[in-house]
A and B are shown apart, each in its own frame.
Chain A
Amino acid sequence: MSCSAGWRRKRLSVKSTVSRGGAWRLAAALLILCLTLLAGILPVGAQRPNGAGIVIRFGDGSVIYAYVQFEEETLTSEDLLYRSGLAVTIAPYSGLGAGVCSINGEGCPSDNCFCQSYTTPAFFWHFYANDGGWRELLRGVSNRDVGDGDIDGWSWTAGESGLPEVTIDEIALMNGVDRNPPAPPTETPTPEPTSTSTLAPTNTPLPTATQPAPTPTTPGEPTATVTPPAPPTASPTPTSGVGQVGLTASPTRETSPTATSPRAATPSAPTPTLTLIASATTLAVLVQPDGTAVPLEVIQTEEGSSVTNLMLFGGLVAVAAGAGVFVWARGRRAA
């Protein structure tokens, strides 16, 4: 009897402990849920998508600065190149990973990826990573993962890379994306049709132009929104599109800064006049050896065959199939 009462007391005690602990757990879960909902309700503009840069130096000394935004944690350098929209030819190699054969027409075909490397000097696309300085990578483009703020470098060279020193913020800025907005905008800046900025011909590696503010874009579609050039105090909202290159500007907007490219940043170099006519399909910024910067347009992918050609192909197949039927019928007659 006493034993039974003791067991019952112990049971009640355990039950009350469980119910008290369950209430705390329930409260904690509700709190987490509320915080999660609040985080979801918060404006998206407070979040910045990840972004990585690509610096490509061609044989003639021109340099492309591309900035690619993405929502994943990391992606391979191969995917980064794909998403940049540049014309890239890649050949798979077991072990080291894929090799880059050509970029924007410079290089070799995929069936002979290192065609110009068999002579002296040996030219091919060298692969670099920027971690405080350019460091050559001895692996394939598919074997490197890049995250937010990383920069890949490519140089068509037989020796030194020749890549300019540049930071991810500068690359983003060149493409019209401010990675470090100071504060959410409190008022809408007044749109202006043109924006002129002058870059001082100093030894600074990048144009110091007052960049026009980027336009918030929806993922997956090139923006056609007129971007108001922001005053210096206005903070831009970064592009939130996945795989969009950050230079998003109006087709009619014209900026006329005087730019000094990283390569042309020598005291003796003439001060080039940069007329940058950005469009909605602008891909990246190409800085030519003379310092002239031009926006690259999205490469029109080959549409394949027209409907007429496909119908012609169908007709040719039908003729060949008809010949096959003719041969078959003749064979049956002969048999």
Chain B
Amino acid sequence: MRNPSSQPPPLHGEGELETVDLTPPLRAGEGVGGRGFSASINPLAWLFWFVGVACVPVVSRNPFYLALSLLVVLVVYLSLPRASGAARAWRLFALVGSTLALLSVGFNVLTVHVGDKVFATLPEALPIVGGKLTWNAFVYGALSALAIATLLLAAAAFNTAVRQGDVIRLMPDSFAGLGIAGSIAMTMVPQTIAAGRDIYDAQRSRGHRFRGLRDARSLIVPLLGSGLERAVTMSEALEARGFGASAAAAEQAATRRWPLLGAVGMLTLSLLAIASGRLALGLVCMTGAVILALTLAPRRNRRTRFRALDWNTASLAVAGAGVGVAVVFGSLLTLTGTTLSYDPFPRLAPPPFEPLAGGAILLLLAPIFWTQP
């Protein structure tokens, strides 16, 4: 049996790449080269696909589009192999998140007493929940739950299909450190779930039975211990690879300090502009700040690639689907404004449906033709 707490995070380098791989080692059946089942679709194409999926719940609260996107993401998720530990952890994460999202429906119904379709009334004497209960609040809560479930399932599918190391390699050199930190933060919950599952299996194989809260001690204590041990191992690995320190970078940073300060100033200006309602000016300033930061930030680590991204037909199709959805939804949002929006307040009315947007969502089914469960 594998001891989850004794696994140091495997490191691998490509050229001068100084990147920490945060995922468990490959298991049997996951293929070679770190991509395995989705070897024909490169990570950047998956990233575009994820952006396309995320566009729908972020931009729209229309139940037609949300339901369609959830169905599409579910089909893509089912087309991926879900036997690995990371995939199982993300599945549990998505399930827990979706359950919490469903609970928010009831919370919304009980606390929001606005709308024209009333189905019950609680006594006003009851604090917070007292008042009329409306279908409007129910629909709003259900739509929010649908959007959250779609995003979580899309994240589960993306992380099942792509390894974290591959995602970090997509980051620009200047933000490699940020990418590693973000990756560590993102994988904390799934890794903890996976470790908890392994400890649970190990204890049961020793004959331990979990019958109540008192028995949870034999699960929680090793889980905390393994988490601390993993954190120490991670920090040692990062230190050994010179994470966060470079002699050459100090010289670079001194020469590029003022442009970076300019970028920070532009970012502040953009936030002020957005807060004051000048969205266009804010977006322009933010774009300028990002470009400045990307081009002028000191590059602590120069990275090269041993394997370039393979833009084959599958990758092009999947990336094109994601970009297509983003373009269609962005265009509809800009040109029409109201086609995508749906608000059940103050009146509960049937939502509109634009076939172009619905057809674009179906493009996101593209990965299923190149994945093998």
Contacts and interface: CB of A to CB of B under 8 A. Distances in A.
Nearest to B64: A313
A313 B66 CA distance: 12
Interface stretch (B108-116, B160-168, B325-333): B108-116
A119 to B, nearest CB: 5
A312 B355 contact: yes
A192 to B, nearest CB: 38
Interface in A280-323: 301-305, 309-310, 312-313, 316-317, 319-321, 323
Contacts of B122: none
B114 A313 contact: no
A319 B364 CA distance: 12
Contact of B373 (A115, A305, A334): A334
Interface stretch (A25-33, A85-93, A202-210): A85-93
Given A92-B345, A316-B358, A305 B353 contact: yes
Contacts of A78: 114, 346
Contact of A305 (B67, B72, B111, B350): B350
Interface stretch (A220-228, A244-252, A260-268, A324-332): A324-332
Nearest to B65: A313
A119 B272 CA distance: 11
B17 interface: no
A119 B365 CA distance: 45
B106 interface: no
Nearest to B116: A82
B212 interface: no
6 contacts: A110-B343, A118-B275, A302-B349, A309-B353, A316-B68, A331-B78
A175 interface: no
A320 B350 contact: no
Interface string A65-97: 000000000000010011000001111101000
B359 interface: yes
Counting contact residues on chain A (CB < 8 A from B), the size range is: 35 or more
Contacts of A323: 72, 75, 365, 368
B75 A310 contact: no
B64 A90 contact: no
Contacts of B350: 302-305
Among B113, B114, B346, B355: residue with most chain A CB under 10 A: B346
Interface residues of B, number: 38
A116 interface: yes
Interface string B270-301: 00000111000000000000000000000000
Interface string B336-373: 00000001011101111111001101100100100011
A115 B78 CA distance: 42
A98 B137 CA distance: 13
Given A321-B71, A324-B75, A91 B351 contact: no
Given A94-B111, A309-B355, A334-B373, A118 B79 contact: no
Nearest to B140: A92
Interface string B85-109: 0000000000000000000000000
Given A301-B347, A323-B365, A328-B78, A94 B114 contact: no
A142 interface: yes
Given A142-B114, A327-B79, A327-B368, A317 B71 contact: yes
B159 to A, nearest CB: 19
A115 B277 CA distance: 7
A319 B368 CA distance: 13
Given A304-B352, A320-B75, A326 B346 contact: no
B78 A324 contact: yes
Nearest to A83: B116
B74 interface: yes
B128 interface: yes
A317 to B, nearest CB: 7
Contacts of A334: 372-373
A98 B345 CA distance: 11
The 6 closest A-B pairs by CB, nearest first: A304-B350, A305-B353, A92-B114, A331-B373, A324-B75, A327-B79
